[in-house]
């Protein structure tokens, strides 16, 4: 096995970011959670699809420590750009998810729900995207795909991820719209869901 510097660095940075990413959720100080006011279990289908997208990028790998694109000088430049993008996406995702979880506090949940006294989050990263945790998850998916996957697996994983995310967004936003009405509708018109300019 040969170790090329950039792909090895990308791999190490992305894997370290995965430990931090998991730690944000597993090791965070959990405030007491108020009782659920309303929960939508339909978002579990979206969660399963998001999980499948991660399984694709982790499961369909290219040769270890090799660039996603190899060959000519043009491909070397593309491989360099992909490597830098992977590291920036991973580090940016950590920042985004950490800020989002901190902003949500006791209202964060794995599935769509409203709690007693639920407040609509519109500050911090929520001022830029309505679902910054999903944006961070997308960043980690892209970073992982660029670090270890075959490019076709990454493309398929992105499609599956977006389908799952759309399901989750619709489920959560149905609850938020029901609870906050015009306030949420105005917020949704101003702020994109996941990726500015795309969705």
5-40 tens-digit pLDDT: 888 899 999 999 999 999 998 887 765 555 555 667
Question: Is 161 a domain residue?
Answer: yes
Higher-scoring residue by pLDDT: 145, 40: 145
Closest C-alpha to 164, from 40, 13, 6, 49: 49
- For residues 132-146, one letter each, b for 16 or more C-beta atoms within 10 angstroms of the residue's C-beta and e for the rest, the string is bbbbbbbbbbbbbbb
3 state DSSP class of 70:
coil
162-182 tens-digit pLDDT: 999 999 999 999 989 988 999
Find how far residue 118's CA is from the centre of its chain.
23
Question: Is 85 a domain residue?
Answer: yes
Instruction: Tell me: pLDDT of 104 over 90.
Output: no
75 shares a domain with 55: no
Extract the runs of DSSP E, i.e. beta strands, from the chain: 36-40, 112-115
Rounded distance between C-alpha atoms, residue 159 and residue 156, angstroms: 5
55 shares a domain with 93: no
Task: Give me the torsion for CA of 140, 142, 143, 149, rounded to 10°.
Answer: 120
Rounded distance between C-alpha atoms, residue 184 and residue 134, angstroms: 18
Could you tell me the residue range of the domain that residue 78 belongs to? 65-109
Instruction: Tell me: pLDDT of 111 over 60.
Output: yes
57 shares a domain with 70: no
46 shares a domain with 86: no
Question: Is 157 a domain residue?
Answer: yes
Question: Is 33 a domain residue?
Answer: no
**pTM of the entire structure?**
0.90
Instruction: Tell me: pLDDT of 107 over 90.
Output: no
Specify the pLDDT at position 108.
80
Domains contained in the chain, number: 2
Instruction: Tell me: pLDDT of 101 over 70.
Output: yes
95 shares a domain with 78: yes
Mean pLDDT of all residues in the chain?
89
Are the C-beta atoms of 40 and 113 separated by less than 8 Å? yes
54 shares a domain with 99: no
Mean local confidence (pLDDT), 130-139 = 97
Specify the pLDDT at position 121.
92
Specify the pLDDT at position 25.
85
197 shares a domain with 177: yes
42-68 tens-digit pLDDT: 789 999 999 999 999 999 999 887 878
Task: Give me the torsion for CA of 175, 121, 99, 22, rounded to 10°.
Answer: -20
57 shares a domain with 96: no
88 shares a domain with 48: no
Question: Is 48 a domain residue?
Answer: yes
Question: Is 11 a domain residue?
Answer: no
Question: Is 115 a domain residue?
Answer: no
Question: Is 35 a domain residue?
Answer: no
Please report, rounded to a whole number, the percentage of residues in the chain having pLDDT higher than 70: 90
């Amino acid at each position: 096995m040969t170790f090329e510097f950039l792909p090895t660095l990308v791999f190490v940075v992305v894997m370290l970011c995965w430990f931090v990413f998991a730690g944000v959720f597993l090791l965070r100080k959990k405030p007491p959670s108020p009782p659920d006011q309303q929960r939508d279990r339909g978002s579990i289908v979206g969660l399963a699809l998001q999980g499948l997208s991660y399984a694709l990028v982790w499961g369909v790998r290219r040769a270890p420590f090799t660039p996603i694109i190899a060959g000519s000088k043009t491909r070397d430049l593309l491989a360099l750009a992909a490597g830098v993008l992977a590291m920036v996406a991973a580090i940016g995702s950590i920042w985004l998810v950490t800020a989002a979880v901190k902003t949500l506090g006791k209202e964060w949940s794995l599935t769509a729900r409203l709690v007693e006294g639920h407040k609509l989050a519109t500050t911090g990263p929520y001022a830029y995207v309505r679902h910054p945790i999903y944006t961070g998850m997308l960043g980690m998916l892209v970073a992982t795909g660029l670090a270890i996957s075959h490019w076709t697996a990454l493309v398929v994983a992105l499609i599956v991820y977006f389908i799952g995310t759309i399901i989750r967004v619709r489920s959560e936003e149905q609850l938020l719209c029901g609870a906050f009405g015009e306030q949420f509708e105005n917020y949704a018109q101003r702020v994109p869901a996941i990726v500015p300019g795309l969705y």
